[in-house]
Homo-oligomer: A and B are copies of this chain.
Amino acid sequence: MVRVAVVGATGYTGLECLRLAAAHPEIRVTCVTSRREAGRRLSDYWGFKPYPEDLEILPPEPETIAEKAEVALLCVPHGTAQEMAAELLSRGLRVIDLSADFRLPDPALYESWYETPHRFPHLLSEAVYGLPEIYAPEIRRARLVANPGCYPTAALLPLLPLLEAGLIEAEDLLVDAKSGVSGAGRKGEVALSFCEVHEDFRAYKVASHRHTPEMEVQLSRAAGREVRILFTPHLTPMQRGIFATIYARPRAPEKEIYETLREFYREKPFVEVLPPGRPPRVAEVRGSNLCRIGLKVDARTGCLLLLSVIDNLVKGASGQALQNLNLMCGLPEDLGLPRVPLHP
């Protein structure tokens, strides 16, 4: 059993780590923390038992966490996470950070998008980007994994193999993505209240969302040259799920693109490539760690559409974190992770 700490157990990604850990045969959560809610039991804070053992929420003291756990899942905001990661790494833990703190390898890039200097640039270069379908070997050896953002996960899984294989142009990539509301976290804001979200649809952070550089770094690596994308996030009135509609210029016929993607993901347990013209649905992945990818080349305009769906809290956050944990701990990559959606 791997002893795991969930650092930041009062938000939705922390909660989802607990739910998934409860069904995982080789993980035992031994420590949960929250600065604000320390002293309460998990069930007291949440109102229900998010984990079979009703742990006491501890203050986020690195010393205590290091005593109780081997691996830490950081479910705290960026800025806070980097400090905690440094403390825990120095005490010998392995760390999977679900925040954005270690996703951008270049400190200057981090500073320009997050408007504050990165305090641990040496860790930035050590961190491995936790997209297991691409970086499994590096993740297996990593001390520090930067768990990808939800939007980047949905967009990169279809794009990276195609860019790598040279089957799409590296220019004019558009990512038009639609997210459920849990992506915004557990917050008491009027803009996220039921009355403002239900029966609404909106775009937000138009052309300025911080997941943009994260995608560009990975796309650039795959393309072997600098890639710029236009990324438009939208909020859709559902709790979970991301639907990414991606527009690209193909350099190969639809069939070849399909077969390349299919071949690339043949052995990967959580990515399913659908036949051309069959679009995926968010309902097909809810609650699961799956990513499903559809594609079509529009005969009239010659444009390639890539359609990708994930559950933002699972494959887009906590499920992917446990997938990374499996790899880091030498367990089967798919151990204990759900592949059947909750439907309806």
Contact = CB atoms under 8 A, between A and B. Distances in A.
Contact of A201 (B181, B195, B230, B236): B236
B47 A206 contact: no
Given A228-B301, A287-B287, A341-B48, A241 B277 contact: no
Interface residues of A, number: 83
A344 B16 CA distance: 9
Contact of A344 (B199, B229, B234, B277): B199
A149 B204 CA distance: 26
Given A207-B300, A296-B207, A196 B342 contact: no
A338 interface: yes
Interface stretch (A18-26, A86-94, A157-165): A18-26
Contacts of A194: 181, 192-194, 196-198, 237, 239
30 contacts: A18-B340, A47-B281, A48-B292, A51-B340, A52-B340, A172-B172, A181-B193, A187-B193, A188-B193, A192-B193, A192-B194, A193-B193, A194-B194, A194-B237, A194-B239, A195-B239, A195-B344, A199-B241, A199-B286, A199-B344, A200-B283, A201-B241, A201-B281, A203-B243, A203-B279, A204-B279, A230-B301, A230-B305, A232-B245, A234-B243
